[in-house]
Amino acid sequence: MGSFSIWHWLIVLVIVLVLFGRGRVSEIMGDFGKGIKSFKEGMNEDEKKSSTQPPAQISSQSGDASPAASEQKNEQA
């Protein structure tokens, strides 16, 4: 009862072919393959972008115009 035999899968395959037709099933599988290929290309593009651009570094300087620094200057004046 736990697993399906080959006969169960053949019956399911026949039912799918009857419902959708052979052409429609091959079209769906072709679209599925294109989707996977597009996904892989997108992942490769993300990896290329991340490897070519160094991460942004924030450096603090004494002359920064940060909100805290401008508040301190306003209070002193």
pLDDT digits (tens, 9 = 90+) for 20-77: 887 888 888 899 999 999 999 998 887 777 766 665 677 666 555 555 555 555 555 5
| pLDDT for the residue 60 | 65
Which has more pLDDT, 12 or 53?
A: 12
Rg for the chain, CA atoms, rounded = 30
Which has more pLDDT, 62 or 12?
A: 12
| pLDDT for the residue 46 | 78
Report pTM.
Answer: 0.42
Phi, psi of 35 (to 5 degrees): -65, -40
| pLDDT for the residue 33 | 94
Looking at this protein, which amino acid is placed at residue 64?
D
